[in-house]
Amino acid sequence: MQPLTPSSHHSVKIILAMAFAVGCWGYSPTGIHVGLQAYDPGHLALLRFLVASIFMAVVAVFRGIHLPHMRDWPLLIVLGFFAVSLHHVALNFGQQGISAGASSVLAQTTPLFSTLLARFVFKDRVSVWRWGCVFLGLTGVVIVVAGDHGLGSINAHSLLILLAAVSWSFYFALQKHQSGRYDGLTLVCYTVWSGTALLLAYLPGLASEIVSAPLHVQWAVVALGVFPSALAYLAWAFVLAHVDLSRATMTMYLIPPAAMAIASVGLGEQPTLMVLVGAVVVLVSVLALNLERRFFGIQVASA
C-alpha cells in the first residue's frame, strides 16, 4: 500500500470531519427523543445548551476569541434567538409528536424557506426554477408528514418542526451580515452563548428534572450538548475553511439517512415507504436549489 501524501492525508481529514459532522447532526433527533423521556422541551433545550456553552467556553479559552463590538450585540442576540432559542424549543416541542426520521427530513427544508424569505421579507427577485423547487419541496413535506402518522396528521407538532426550519432560515440570512466581521468560531460561540442566555427563562423547575432523570437520559443530553451543538460546528468550520460552500453543502443531504439509521438502532424506528419517498422529494428539491446557484450562476438580484 502506498503511503499517504500530504495532499491525500489532508483530504482524508476533510472527509473525516464531514463524516463526523453528519454523524453528530444525524444523532440529534434521536438524542432529543431520548431527552424528552425525562425533560420538558424547554428544559431540554436549556440543559443541552448549558452543556454546549460550557464546552464552547473551554474551546474559546484555548483558541482565543475577541470580544464583539458593542454595536454588534443586538444582532448577536437576535442570531442566538433564531439559531438556538426559537429553533430548538420549536424542534423539541415538535418532536413530541413526530418520529426522529421524519423530523430530520423536515429540518432540511431550511433552503426552501430561505427562498420564501428572500422574496417576501428581503424583496429579492426569485426565479421560476426556485419557485418550482419550493413547490416540489413543500409537496415532499406533505408526503413525509402524511407517511409518518397518516394523511390527516399535519398538526401542530409538524408545523413546529417547520417553524424550526424557518428560524434557521432567518439565522442564515442575518448571519451574512456578521460573516465579514468575525471568524466562524467567534460567531458560533457568541450565538450559542446569547441563545443560551435567552433560554434561561426555562430555568425554574430544571433542577428537579435533572435529579429525577435516568442516567441514560442524562448521557443523551450531555451528548446533545457536546456533539451536535458544539463539536459538529467546529468540524464544519474546518471543512468550510478547506472546501467551497457549494461542495460542502452537498454533504448535508446525508443527514436524514444518517438520522434514520441512528433512530432505527437507538429507538427502533422504521420509516414507512411514504416517509422515504417524501424524504427523496424534499432532498431533491433542496439539491435543485443548490444546483441552480452552482451550475447556472443565477444571481438573486434585488427588486
The predicted-structure confidence for 49-58, as pLDDT tens digits, reads as follows 999 999 999 9
CA distance 28 to 228: 6
| 60-115 per-position pLDDT tens digit | 988 888 888 888 899 899 999 999 999 999 999 999 988 898 898 888 888 788 77
Q: Are 264 and 93 in contact (CB under 8 A)?
A: no
Question: Cα separation of 283 and 139, whole Å?
Answer: 11
pLDDT at 146: 83
Cell numbers linked to 101: 426520521
pLDDT per residue over 169-214, tens digit each? Answer: 888 778 765 556 777 788 889 999 999 999 999 999 999 999 999 9
The rounded radius of gyration (Å) of the Cα atoms in the chain is 19
DSSP 3-state of 302? strand
Q: Which of 268, 236, 206, 264 is nearest to 48 (CA)?
A: 206
Cell of residue 247, nine digits: 461542495
Question: How many other CB atoms sit within 10 Å of the CB of residue 251?
Answer: 17
Q: According to the model, what pLDDT value does residue 300 have?
A: 36
Amino acid at 218: Q
DSSP character at residue 124: B
Looking at residue 254, the DSSP 8-state letter turns out to be G
Secondary structure (3-state) at 109: helix
pLDDT at 126 over 80: no
Closest CA to 288 of 153, 140, 183: 140
- C-alpha to C-alpha distances, 121 to 90, 128, 172, nearest whole angstrom: 21, 18, 14
Closest alpha carbon to 103 in 29, 31, 45, 154: 29
Question: Among candidates 102, 220, 213, 234, which has minimal Cα distance to 162?
Answer: 102
pTM of the model: 0.86
More confident residue, 111 or 223: 223
| 3-class SS of residue 299 | coil
pLDDT over threshold 60, residue 295: no
CA dist., res. 28 & res. 225, Å (int): 10
Q: How far apart are CA 254 and CA 287, in angstroms?
A: 12
What pLDDT is recorded for position 299?
40
* Predicted confidence (pLDDT) per residue in 3-25, tens digit: 555 566 678 888 898 899 999 99
CA distance 155 to 98: 10
